[in-house]
């Protein structure tokens, strides 16, 4: 099975169109130095204004380049070779998209954002999922659909050992240019279709699962009873599943998706403990009894 190893793309800095606009204002106003968020808000740094441009971590960016950066709403990698849009044009169009200054970006595929961004941010959203999953130190966690890796990274922050599954190599390639994805160094990422990878795991192998699939219209197999049975099989007794479903009230073919997910989970043996329509989540547990009990972190 192929594994993805995260490594940085090698840019000196990553900026968004928001920072480019602020730097352009500094050039036009004749400022000598300006402080802006660098690496999409991971830190703040001082940028010098030199002539008709700016120098960012040793990379000189002209006024004309800043103007082009402001026009295209996206993220940019800066290197000694130039300024590059963080996008991939393949069978689909992929774009690393900062939505607000200083927040973790989302990835946009064919114009569709892969994270909640309207009233929260992707980093906060991932933290909510991990908290609902009750992830703790020593837990073994399965993260289904890696994306930019935020959920997996938030679980690692809590001391968990994380295995993540992602089929789209283009999204993973974009993660290498995203400073917020650096924590994927600590995650084992398996490349493949989740419905094919998950059956390869052993019984009762995971203490928590976060399942964050694309919308049902794009990945209906990941909402099926067959796939839910596999998730149940690989979870330890008492382990918790956090399943992202989508916006509250969202419907597919005239049906309430959240209600349907909760029903199918119960039908295959899960105990549904909560439905949070605000966050678009269904929380369920594998009933206790038989197999390896959850709670590895309490063992000597």
Write the pLDDT tens digit of every residue in 78-87: 999 999 999 9
Domains, the chain, in order of start with CATH, read: 13-85 (no CATH), 122-298 (3.40.50.150)
How much is the pLDDT for 254?
Answer: 59
Residues in the chain: 300
What pLDDT is stored for residue 204 in this prediction? 98
Instruction: Give every residue of the chain whose pLDDT is below 50, as ranges.
Output: 248, 252, 296-300
Q: Which has the closest alpha carbon to 20: 88, 81, 107, 98?
A: 98
pLDDT of residue 246: 79
Q: Provide the whole-model pTM.
A: 0.92
Is residue 132 within 8 A of residue 281, CB to CB? The reply is yes
Tell me if 27 sits within 8 A of 74, measured CB to CB. Answer: no
pLDDT at position 134 is: 98
At 295 the pLDDT is 54
């Amino acid at each position: 099975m192929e594994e993805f190893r995260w490594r940085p793309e090698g840019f000196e800095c990553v900026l968004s169109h928001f920072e480019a606009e602020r730097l352009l204002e500094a050039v036009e106003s004749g400022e000598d130095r300006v402080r802006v968020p660098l690496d999409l808000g991971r830190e703040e740094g001082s940028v010098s204004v030199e002539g008709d441009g700016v120098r960012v971590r040793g990379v000189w960016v002209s006024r004309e380049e800043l103007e082009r950066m402001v026009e295209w709403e996206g993220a940019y990698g800066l290197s000694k070779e130039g300024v590059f849009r963080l996008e991939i044009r393949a069978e689909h169009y992929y774009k690393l998209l900062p939505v607000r200054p200083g927040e973790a970006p989302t990835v946009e595929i064919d114009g569709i954002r892969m994270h909640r961004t309207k009233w929260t941010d992707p980093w906060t959203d991932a933290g909510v999922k991990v908290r609902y999953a009750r992830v703790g130190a020593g837990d073994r966690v399965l993260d289904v659909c890696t994306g930019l890796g935020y959920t997996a990274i938030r679980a690692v922050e809590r001391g968990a050992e994380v295995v993540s599954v992602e089929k789209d190599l283009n999204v993973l390639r974009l993660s290498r240019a995203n400073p917020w994805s650096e924590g994927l160094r600590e995650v084992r990422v398996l490349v493949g279709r989740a419905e094919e990878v998950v059956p390869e795991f052993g019984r009762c192998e995971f203490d928590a699962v976060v399942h964050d699939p694309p919308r049902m219209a794009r990945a209906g197999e990941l909402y099926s009873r067959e796939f839910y049975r596999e998730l149940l099989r690989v979870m330890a007794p008492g382990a918790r599943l956090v399943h992202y479903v989508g916006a509250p009230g969202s419907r597919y073919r005239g049906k309430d998706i959240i209600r349907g997910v909760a029903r199918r989970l119960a039908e295959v043996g899960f105990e549904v403990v909560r439905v949070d329509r605000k966050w678009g989540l269904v929380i369920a547990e594998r009933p206790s009894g038989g197999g390896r009990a959850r709670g590895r972190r309490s063992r000597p």
